[in-house]
Amino acid sequence: MNKKVALQDLGFKDYKETWDYQEALFKNIVDTKVRNRREDAGLETPNHFLFVEHPHVYTLGKSGDINNLLVDEKKLAEKGATFYKINRGGDITYHGPGQVVGYPILDLDNFFTDIHKYLRFLEEMVILTLAEYDLKGQRSEGETGVWLDVGTPFARKICAMGVRASRWVTMHGFALNVNTDLGYFDMMIPCGIKDKAVTSLNVELGQKEVNIEEVKEKLLKHFTVLFEAEIIKERVDV
């Protein structure tokens, strides 16, 4: 089992370009697994972890409701935002500047073959990271992602999650609000969940801006421990 994970930080990158890149990495892993099965090739399957920050974009999962997007194409254009229907689970979400987006593209045969455990580990990675800022991140029953003050009238979501998996290979991932303009969430019903607020790390800490690179380092640290992985930083050439 290959527990090495190639890390690439793509910086500020268009959503569709990043999605296409994810699909290429995903396909390479799946094709390798198919070849191993057919030819008993014994080839090692790679794992990837992409960090990225997107321009304003709304994405709707395959089980999502388009009515959860509350504005039309004209309003989206006025706000400099785009919209895509995509092939992950979950409903609608927003990505934009000041948000840490992570896309683990893993062959879970290298780790464990349990999608629920995979999602719980991603949530735990975020919960442990928030704890380093003295914030109590929590799970909300029946809802993926990470929340604050669950079970109170002040419950608010700080990290959204949505993944796709096929042949135990994952793609898509999580979006942690760090220095995010929360006004963009007013144009949708986040994840299709009404009457619950959204927050970001800088708001919770009362800071104008939180060091995003520091947040990424903390996330990777906890990811490495939870998945018993070895991070290999790679040059970005896409």
161 known ligand binder: yes
Among 201, 191, 178, CA closest to 93 = 191
Given the residues 101, 130, 148, 191, the one annotated as active site: 191
Residue 93, marked binder: yes
Two structure tokens written together for 128? 């442990």
Q: Are strands 138-140 and 143-148 parallel, antiparallel or unpaired?
A: antiparallel
Q: Is 189 annotated as a binding residue?
A: no
* 102 in a labelled binding site: no
The response to whether 111 counts as a known ligand-binding position is no
Catalytic site includes residue 191: yes
Following DSSP, what letter does each residue of 30-87 receive, concatenated? HHHHHHHHHH---PPPP-EEEEEEPSSEEEE-TT--GGGB-S-HHHHHHTT-EEEE-S
In the chain, count H helices and then E strands.
Answer: 5, 12
Q: Which residues pair with 232 in a beta bridge?
A: 6
CA dist., res. 42 & res. 36, Å (int):
6
165 annotated binding-site participant: no
Is 180 a known ligand-binding residue? no
Q: Are 160 and 188 in contact (CB under 8 A)?
A: no
Distance between CA atoms of 43 and 190, rounded to whole angstroms? 41
Q: Look up tokens 């800490």; give the residue.
A: 205
Q: Is 181 labeled as ligand-binding? A: no
Annotated binding-site residue? 160: yes
Tell me if 183 is assigned to a ligand binding site: no
**Was 64 annotated as part of a binding site?**
no
Reduce the DSSP state of residue 237 to 3 states and report it. coil
On whether 231 is known to bind a ligand per the annotation, the reply is: no
Please give the annotated binding residues for substrate, written as ranges. Answer: 88-95, 160-162, 173-175
Give the residue numbers of the binding site: 88-95, 160-162, 173-175
Active-site annotation, residues: 191
